[in-house]
Amino acid sequence: MRYRYVTADVFTGHAYQGNPLAVVLDAEGLGTAQMQRIAREFNYSETSFVLPAQDPAHTARVRIFTPDREVPFAGHPNVGTAVVLAREQVTAGLPAPQGFVFEEEAGLVRIALNYGPQGLAGAELLAPQPLSRGSEAPVSAVARALKLDPADIDVSEHAPQVVSVGLPFLVAQLVNRDALRRAMPDASGYAALMPLVGAKSIYVYTTDTASDAMDAPTDIQARMLTGRMTEDPATGSATAAVTALRAFLRDDEGMLRLRVGQGVDMGRASLLLAHAESRPDGVWAGVSGQAVVVMEGTLPAPAQD
């Protein structure tokens, strides 16, 4: 049996920028091991699989795989999957949807579709969980994992710390844009640090953004360095978590909105529009962005293991 797929570049309005995603449509019948093999074949940061919702009140069940594991939630797969599904409905002659609810391991992900003069422009998601704060990490260990000097780590606002709104990341603020450019994942440093803090990847960012040449100013420039020793061009779940953390650290309780650039240093410039707000039940965050369809086709089901 063959399955149809669509690829999209997410958190960008331009093909071959942003973060590529493969969306496997109507994936019912594929087992977990088969999904993992397909994700490994695409070798993107993530591949999503669209399945019938368990609750008919929801749009779909969505499973998300990196090349080496399934994750309970991720940002760019939700934005990209929503844009792909909305495009499918419009192409089929159905009314343009205004939003979706995806069932995921981390919880329900609510998504609003954004339309502009040219039609479907992007999507905005609300993370399935409020901010949770985990272990802090020693500056020296984080610097080693990033091949940086400890002085490159900025602790004036927060220490390196694990944060999550559905998927945990170790986040560290760096002193300037130069330090962000120089950061590189170190395999032995990751092996020594990451099992202790319970995360797989390190999200590094700086508020020193004046030197970046993007279409519009940003509040933060960021990079995501994964446990596979690769770099992710745009990471919506980590961006939402960092925005929630920064909202938590503020004195006031209004909405915090951040324009976040990512992927610039690897030639895949991405723009993520994040927001976070303190509520009685926690700090809730979301992220929005554009996505453009790039390729589509069919693939055979892998053999069952």
Ranges of beta strands (E only) in the chain are 2-10, 19-24, 46-51, 60-65, 70-71, 99-104, 107-116, 119-126, 132-136, 161-164, 169-173, 202-206, 220-225, 231-232, 256-262, 270-279, 282-300
CA distance 12 to 262: 11
Contacts of 15 (CB under 8 A, 6+ apart): 9, 292, 294
Give the Cβ contact number of residue 206 at 10 Å: 23
From the candidates 46, 103, 124, 231, give the one annotated as an active-site residue.
46
**Taking Cα atoms as reference points, which of 274, 195, 208, 260 lies closest to residue 232?**
260
CA distance 273 to 236: 9
Q: Is 28 a catalytic residue?
A: no
Asked if 206 and 174 touch (Cβ cutoff 8 Å), the reply is yes
Catalytic residues: 46
